[in-house]
């Protein structure tokens, strides 16, 4: 099936999806909560390794310089999954795809937890990252099942689960490691994923919007790239994803450098430093509320106000050496803004093409990953050149570019007819 044929078949596909939604009705709060918990557990599999790297290195005889490859391989697996697995949600039965990924994640985590050497560990971590993209498959699936009036709120609730999973992963993995070592963390996660697979298999609706039929996997991947060219809302929101997560990553990738160096390292306890992560819970609150605003037609205003808040957040963050409380305020501002824009972005792009939700989310998240990587690299270079002030200037400059892009381009671009009812005031 060519891209043109797929486009011509779109009205019939959307009509079928609308009929299925009418049959299934709105998603129940219990199903949405189950989606959120599943995403929280899945994202935790990526971040739980961070406090365990030293223990892994000692146990398996890996040098401190080489153990960092665990994080790198997880991110590589994640990037490959975004490009190769997430689009399958538009081709295969989404329910089976989600359950299958969760079950395979349990296998990958078991491999990590029982790894006898570094090679097996690295393979298991790469697979865990690859399969963690079940988060994006779930988001696309839930957005398709939800009614248009509840799509933003549904995505927001699920994103709250993602944020909570990221924050709780570090605390939970550290606590479990203290009890039974780093392997217990992954074996426990494997059991939880198996339980989650059983719950999803039992609870997910069996009647669902039908995935795209009559296309091969190769054509599906080509059409994913074509969507970036065809859909202006996807392009605009992908630019936002790249910029906001570059700014976000610039902070989180480099803040440990001044905190771990004198004079701050002499006065801050681990508990105090951990407050920075707890402050990010504001992002979970923002995710759900911004989804509601998108459903009510405030997506553009939410985006603009959030970008202004993000830019302003770098002012208190620049006061790291004088007041940790100001930094906490800045963290709340930036995390709130990033999650609000992120949820709004996903709500809008899915509304343009519900029949291509998995491909849209997958393409969008590639830009998210690129932005996160560039922000991490840029911030460490900025810190080496101009210390913490250099990082703040970089983060603020990226945020200013995002705000300028919204003012000059996006705020003046009319929303397509297909999303006006849920996005523009």
In this structure, what CATH number is given to the domain that contains residue 409? 1.20.1250.20
State which residues form the domain around 363. 231-413
Whether residue 308 contacts residue 188, with contact meaning beta carbons closer than 8 Å, is answered with no
* Residue 208 confidence class, pLDDT cut points 50, 70, 90: low
Whether residue 342 contacts residue 402, with contact meaning beta carbons closer than 8 Å, is answered with no
Is the same domain home to 31 and 148?
Answer: yes
DSSP 35-85: HHHHHHHHHHHHHTTGGGHHHHHHHHT--TTTTTHHHHHHHHHHHHHHHHT
Whether residue 39 contacts residue 158, with contact meaning beta carbons closer than 8 Å, is answered with yes
User: In the prediction, which pLDDT does 57 show?
Assistant: 85
Is the same domain home to 164 and 304?
Answer: no
Is the same domain home to 116 and 175?
Answer: yes
Is the same domain home to 48 and 171?
Answer: yes
Residue for token pair 């200037």:
393
Is the same domain home to 3 and 55?
Answer: yes
DSSP H helical segments within 181-323, as ranges?
Answer: 182-203, 217-230, 232-254, 256-259, 264-267, 270-279, 281-295, 299-317
Q: Is the pLDDT of residue 88 over 70?
A: yes
User: In the prediction, which pLDDT does 67 show?
Assistant: 73
Residue 421 domain flag:
no
Q: In this structure, what token pair is assigned to residue 97?
A: 């795809």
Last residue of a domain, one of 223, 242, 263: 223
Averaged pLDDT of the chain: 81
Is the same domain home to 133 and 275?
Answer: no
* Three-state SS at 125: helix
Is the same domain home to 252 and 218?
Answer: no
Residue 418 domain flag:
no
Within its chain, how far is the Cα of 143 from the centroid? 15
User: In the prediction, which pLDDT does 214 show?
Assistant: 59
User: In the prediction, which pLDDT does 193 show?
Assistant: 96
pLDDT digit string (tens) for 251-298? 887 877 787 677 766 566 555 565 666 666 766 666 667 777 777 778
- Does 342 or 3 have the greater pLDDT score? 342
Residue 288 domain flag:
yes
Is the same domain home to 217 and 324?
Answer: no
Is the same domain home to 211 and 319?
Answer: no
Is the same domain home to 281 and 200?
Answer: no
Q: Is the pLDDT of residue 423 over 70?
A: no
Last residue of a domain, one of 197, 223, 249: 223
Q: Is the pLDDT of residue 2 over 60?
A: no
- Could you say which DSSP state residue 301 is in? H
pLDDT digit string (tens) for 117-132? 999 999 999 999 999 9
Is the same domain home to 109 and 240?
Answer: no
Residue 422 domain flag:
no
Vertex 194 angle, CA 192 and 198, to 5°:
115
Last residue of a domain, one of 188, 223, 258: 223
Residue 424 domain flag:
no
* Residue 398 confidence class, pLDDT cut points 50, 70, 90: very high
Which residues, 6 or more positions from 102, have their beta carbon under 8 angstroms from its beta carbon? 38, 42, 134, 193, 196, 197, 200
* Residue 11 confidence class, pLDDT cut points 50, 70, 90: very low
User: In the prediction, which pLDDT does 200 show?
Assistant: 94
Vertex 277 angle, CA 274 and 278, to 5°:
90
User: In the prediction, which pLDDT does 196 show?
Assistant: 96
Is the same domain home to 260 and 276?
Answer: yes
Tally the domains of the chain.
2
Residue 419 domain flag:
no
* Three-state SS at 63: coil
């Amino acid at each position: 099936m060519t891209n043109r044929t797929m486009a011509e078949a779109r009205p019939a596909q959307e009509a079928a999806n609308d009929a299925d939604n009418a049959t299934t009705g709105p998603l129940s709060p219990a199903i949405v909560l189950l989606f959120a918990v599943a995403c929280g557990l899945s994202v935790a599999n990526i971040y739980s390794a961070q406090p365990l790297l030293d223990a892994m290195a000692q146990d398996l005889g890996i040098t401190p310089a080489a153990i960092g490859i665990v994080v790198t391989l997880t991110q590589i697996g994640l990037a490959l999954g975004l490009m190769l697995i997430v689009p399958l949600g538009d081709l295969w039965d989404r329910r089976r795809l989600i359950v299958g990924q969760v079950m395979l994640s349990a296998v990958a985590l078991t491999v990590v937890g029982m790894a006898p050497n570094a090679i097996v560990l690295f393979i298991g971590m790469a697979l865990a990252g690859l399969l963690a993209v079940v988060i994006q498959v779930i988001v696309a699936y839930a957005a398709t099942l939800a009614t248009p009036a509840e799509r933003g709120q549904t995505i927001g609730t699920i994103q709250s689960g993602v944020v909570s999973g990221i924050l709780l992963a570090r605390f939970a993995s550290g606590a479990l490691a203290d009890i039974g070592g780093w392997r217990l963390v992954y074996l426990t996660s494997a059991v939880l994923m198996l339980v989650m697979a059983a719950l999803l298999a039992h609870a997910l609706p069996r009647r669902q919007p039908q995935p795209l039929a009559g296309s091969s996997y190769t054509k599906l991947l080509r059409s994913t790239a074509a969507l970036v060219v065809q859909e202006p809302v996807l392009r605009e929101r992908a630019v936002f994803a790249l910029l906001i997560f570059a700014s976000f990553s610039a902070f989180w990738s480099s803040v440990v450098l001044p905190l771990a160096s004198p004079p701050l390292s002499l006065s801050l306890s681990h508990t105090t430093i951990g407050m920075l992560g707890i402050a990010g819970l504001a992002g979970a609150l923002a995710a759900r509320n911004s989804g509601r605003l998108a459903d009510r037609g405030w997506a553009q205003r939410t985006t603009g106000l959030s970008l202004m808040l993000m830019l302003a957040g770098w002012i208190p963050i620049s006061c790291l050496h004088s007041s940790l409380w100001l930094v906490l305020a800045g963290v709340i501002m930036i995390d709130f803004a990033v999650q609000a824009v992120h949820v709004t972005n996903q709500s809008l792009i899915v509304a343009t093409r519900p029949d291509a939700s998995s491909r849209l989310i997958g393409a969008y998240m590639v830009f998210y990953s690129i932005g996160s990587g560039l922000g991490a690299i840029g911030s460490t270079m900025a810190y080496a050149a101009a210390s913490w002030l250099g990082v703040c200037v970089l983060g603020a400059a990226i945020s200013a570019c995002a705000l300028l892009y919204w003012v000059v381009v996006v705020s003046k671009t009319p929303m397509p007819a297909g999303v006006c009812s849920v996005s523009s005031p």
